[in-house]
């Protein structure tokens, strides 16, 4: 999918109308995702779980000749599986942090299976901000950082406030341009 609403390439940083540089992102502090991201994660998880689960259980009930025990099992599954997936989505939201510092972008995720990803500023190739319809409705965006390396080298950080994602994109683009200028010198 392409379109101006879904993907925005990073423009070169430009001064604001008053001649001031663009607003900077707070550095060296681990930032949490906004609460709206938890709500969106809950809603997306419910939709993504309930629709296929309902279809599968409906087909299963038809195949089981609609026996009472089948309805009880289907009801329990219809209650437990979405509850479990929403719990996981909310935990994922709670355990996701990001930070930008002099070395680049850092993203931490998870509790049991932790990941700590660092993208050095000199590895940034280009940056995209993607906003789907639900993200736009919640004022959120996904920052995609494409890095040097293999074809699929990218880091996606979803659930960012839309304005914060744009500031983060502009800050990373400015730092990548500054690193390129230092490398050329």
DSSP secondary structure code for residue 123 in this structure:
G
Q: Are 31 and 97 in contact (CB under 8 A)?
A: yes
Contact between 154 and 146 (Cβ < 8 Å): yes
Per-residue pLDDT, 24: 57
pLDDT digits (tens, 9 = 90+) for 109-122: 988 889 999 988 88
* Token reading at 13: 């940083």
Structure confidence at residue 140 (pLDDT) = 97
**Has this prediction a pTM greater than 0.85?**
no
Residue 179 pLDDT grade (very low, low, confident, very high; cuts 50, 70, 90): low
**pLDDT tens-digit map of 9-34:** 444 444 444 444 545 566 678 999 99
Burial class (CB in 10 A: 0-12, 13-18, 19+), 165: buried
Residue among 161, 32, 46 at smallest CA distance from 94: 32
- Tens of pLDDT, residue by residue over 45-99, are 999 999 999 898 888 888 877 778 888 888 889 899 999 999 999 999 999 999 9
For residue 102, what pLDDT band results from cuts at 50, 70 and 90?
Answer: confident
- Residue 173 phi/psi, 5-degree rounding, is -65, -40
Residues 123-172: pLDDT tens digits? 888 899 999 999 999 999 999 999 887 667 889 999 999 999 999 999 99
């Amino acid at each position: 999918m392409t379109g101006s609403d879904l993907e925005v390439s990073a423009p070169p940083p430009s001064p604001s109308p008053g001649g001031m540089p663009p607003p900077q992102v707070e550095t060296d502090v681990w930032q949490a995702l906004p609460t709206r991201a938890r709500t969106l994660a809950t809603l997306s998880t419910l939709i993504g779980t309930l629709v296929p689960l309902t279809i599968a259980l409906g087909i299963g009930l038809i195949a089981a000749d609609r026996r009472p025990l089948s309805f009880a099992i289907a009801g329990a599954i219809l209650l437990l599986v979405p509850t479990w997936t929403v719990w996981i989505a909310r935990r994922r939201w709670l355990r996701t942090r990001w930070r930008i510092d002099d070395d680049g972008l850092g993203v931490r995720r998870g509790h049991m299976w932790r990941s700590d990803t660092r993208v050095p500023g000199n590895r940034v190739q280009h940056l995209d901000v993607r906003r789907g319809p639900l993200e736009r409705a919640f004022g959120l965006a996904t920052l995609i950082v494409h890095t040097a390396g293999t074809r699929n080298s990218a880091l996606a950080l979803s659930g960012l406030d839309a304005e914060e994602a744009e500031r983060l994109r502009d800050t990373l683009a400015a730092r990548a341009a500054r690193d390129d200028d230092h490398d050329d010198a």
